[in-house]
Structure 1
Amino acid sequence: MSPSPLRLIVMGVSGCGKSTLAAALSERLGLDMVDGDDLHLPESVAKMRSGIALQDADRWPWLDRIGHFLAQAPVPGRVVACSALKRVYRERIREQAGEVCFVFLDGNFDLIEQRMRQRVGHYMQPGLLDSQFRTLEKPEADETDVICLPITEAVHVMITQALEALHRRLHPAL
């Protein structure tokens, strides 16, 4: 029996560090990586650039593209940086992709807003962070495929924590 590819999503609100952690995990695990932002339709990007929050109707095709990208993962797997803010969004991805592991980057509004104001050239406006937090449904305990990490840790610590949690999940007997 051949090994299954790892399908990994690094999730959380805009500005929490999804892209940074996803890229680091991609490199450490030898996985293909895509930033979910790159899979948005041009109309959705234009809305966000204009400071207009996306609605569910804008998100469904995007979530389907993310799920399809993960479903087509070769061994060893793929990682996507994707907000996946609502439980129904995560379920939509699971329906498309099959078995997925989510890494939720959890942080408070003030810290994330500060980080967003420091970044340059991103189309997601800091003014939209409010809508992200209103939309966010933090993963519940019954979402057993989610690893929660606090963003107050240094990136190298978060990488280590994520790798250890993934190892425990993939090799529970060890």
Structure 2
Amino acid sequence: MSYCDWDTTDELCLRYHDEEWGVPVHDDRTQFEYLSLEVMQCGLNWTMMLHKREVMRTCFAGFDFDAVAGFGPDDVDRILATPGMICSRRKVEAIINNAQCFQRVREEFGSFDAYLWGFSDGKTILYNKHADGWIPVSNGLSARVAADLRRRGFKYLGPTTVYSHFETLCVSN
């Protein structure tokens, strides 16, 4: 299997690449988990997110967006005090905020999945130059989705972060 510029020495990265990356996702909890990992990854690297994923799952109630939406200041402090957790108050608060926004999107569209996949008419869009090693950091689709997410109150989800999310979900073009 080809790994582009993936870390082929890290077993966790290899397993993620082979089992999750690029597999279309239609489950809202998984969507929220990936979005939250992308938020925490800003300025860091994906390998670190994979290694801290279990800590984040514990901190964010298994990425149960309804539970996270109800978190308050004490939860933020608890999360920041968790050993092994990335200590960024702004990112933790952004994930809680995003859980609340996520709920509103679900109310409007029936699911976050329907909202997000609506941007591609429910079709998987494969980026045809990926195999050649040419991978942009964002594109027109990620810019449109990021702008719409910002309009809906989401934080830490700009065009580059959304594009990374789409790569995970196999809807990048």
TM-score w.r.t. length of structure 2: 0.28
* Larger fraction in strand: 1
* Larger fraction in helix: 2
Tell me: higher relative CO, structure 1 or 2? Use CA pairs within 8 A at least 6 residues apart: 1
TM-score w.r.t. length of structure 1: 0.28
